[in-house]
A = this chain, B = another copy of it.
Amino acid sequence: MTISAKPISGFKEFLPEEQMLFNRMMDVIRRHYELFGFAPLETAAVERNDVLLAKADEENRKVMYGLHILNSANPALVENVKNYSLHFDQTVPLARYVAQNYGKLHFPFRRYQIQKVWRGERPQGGRFREFYQCDIDVIGDESLGLLHDAEMPAVIYGIFSELGIGKFIIRLGNRKIHNGLLEDLGIPLHYNVKRSIAPGPDWDGEIVEDTKNTLTLIDKMYKDGIEETRRAFHDDVGIPEERIDELLSFLSHKDDVHATLKWLAAQNRNDMFALGVSELTEVIDHMQALGIPSNCYGIDFGITRGLDYYTGTVYETTLVNHEAVGSVCSGGRFDDLASTFIDRKLPGVGISIGLTRLFDALQRSGAICTGAHCPTKAVIFNMTPSLRHEYFAMATALRAAGIPTEVYLEDKNINKQTKYAVNKQIPFGIFMDEKRQNRGVCTVRNYSNGDEAEVSLTQLKHHLHQL
Hey, which chain B residues are within 8 Å of A8, CB to CB? 44, 46-48, 84
Nearest-neighbor residue (CB-CB) of A65 within chain B: B67
Residues A39 and B62 in contact, CB atoms below 8 Å apart = no
Q: Does chain B have a CB within 8 A of A320?
A: no
Q: Does chain B have a CB within 8 A of A259?
A: no
Nearest-neighbor residue (CB-CB) of A341 within chain B: B5
Hey, which chain B residues are within 8 Å of A19, CB to CB? 39-42
Residues B37 and A286 in contact, CB atoms below 8 Å apart = no
Of A147-155, A180-188, A241-249, the one contacting chain B is A147-155
Which chain A residues (97-137) contact chain B, with CB distance < 8 Å?
97, 99-101, 104-106, 108, 110-111, 116, 118, 120-122, 130
How many angstroms between the C-alpha atoms of A46 and B67 in the bound complex?
Answer: 12
Hey, which chain B residues are within 8 Å of A154, CB to CB? 396
Hey, which chain B residues are within 8 Å of A375, CB to CB? 34-35, 37-40
Known: A46-B11, A51-B3, A105-B16. A35 touches B70 (CB 8 A): no
Q: Does chain B have a CB within 8 A of A263?
A: no
Residues A404 and B5 in contact, CB atoms below 8 Å apart = no
**Min CB distance, A134 to chain B, in Å?**
15
Q: Does chain B have a CB within 8 A of A81?
A: yes
Residues A66 and B70 in contact, CB atoms below 8 Å apart = yes
Q: Does chain B have a CB within 8 A of A436?
A: no
Residues A14 and B42 in contact, CB atoms below 8 Å apart = yes
Contact with B along A1-41 (1 / 0, CB 8 A): 01111111001111110011001000000000011111111
Q: Does chain B have a CB within 8 A of A91?
A: no
Hey, which chain B residues are within 8 Å of A101, CB to CB? 15
For A396, give its contact among B40, B116, B290, B379 (CB under 8 Å): B290
State the 9 A-B residue pairs at the shortest beta-carbon distance, nearest first.
A37-B376, A289-B389, A11-B44, A37-B406, A39-B374, A34-B375, A5-B99, A147-B409, A5-B100
Q: Does chain B have a CB within 8 A of A466?
A: no
Nearest-neighbor residue (CB-CB) of A98 within chain B: B5
Which chain A residues (59-96) contact chain B, with CB distance < 8 Å?
61-77, 81, 84-86, 96
How many angstroms between the C-alpha atoms of A41 and B40 in the bound complex?
Answer: 21
Residues B130 and A46 in contact, CB atoms below 8 Å apart = yes
For A40, give its contact among B20, B392, B405, B423 (CB under 8 Å): B20
Contact with B along A399-421 (1 / 0, CB 8 A): 10011111101110000000010
How many A residues touch B, CB cutoff 8 Å? 122
Q: Does chain B have a CB within 8 A of A45?
A: yes
Q: Does chain B have a CB within 8 A of A307?
A: no
Contact with B along A346-379 (1 / 0, CB 8 A): 0000000000000000000000000001111001
Q: Does chain B have a CB within 8 A of A393?
A: yes
Residues B343 and A2 in contact, CB atoms below 8 Å apart = yes
Known: A19-B39, A44-B8. A73 touches B69 (CB 8 A): no
Nearest-neighbor residue (CB-CB) of A100 within chain B: B5
Known: A35-B405, A100-B6, A339-B2. A70 touches B85 (CB 8 A): yes
How many angstroms between the C-alpha atoms of A200 and B75 in the bound complex?
Answer: 7
Which chain A residues (245-303) contact chain B, with CB distance < 8 Å?
286, 289-291
Q: Does chain B have a CB within 8 A of A49?
A: yes
For A289, give its contact among B120, B392, B426 (CB under 8 Å): B392
Residues B69 and A120 in contact, CB atoms below 8 Å apart = yes
Q: Does chain B have a CB within 8 A of A237?
A: no
Interface centre among A36, A76, A130, A200 (most CB of B within 10 A): A36
Q: Does chain B have a CB within 8 A of A197?
A: yes
Q: Does chain B have a CB within 8 A of A232?
A: no
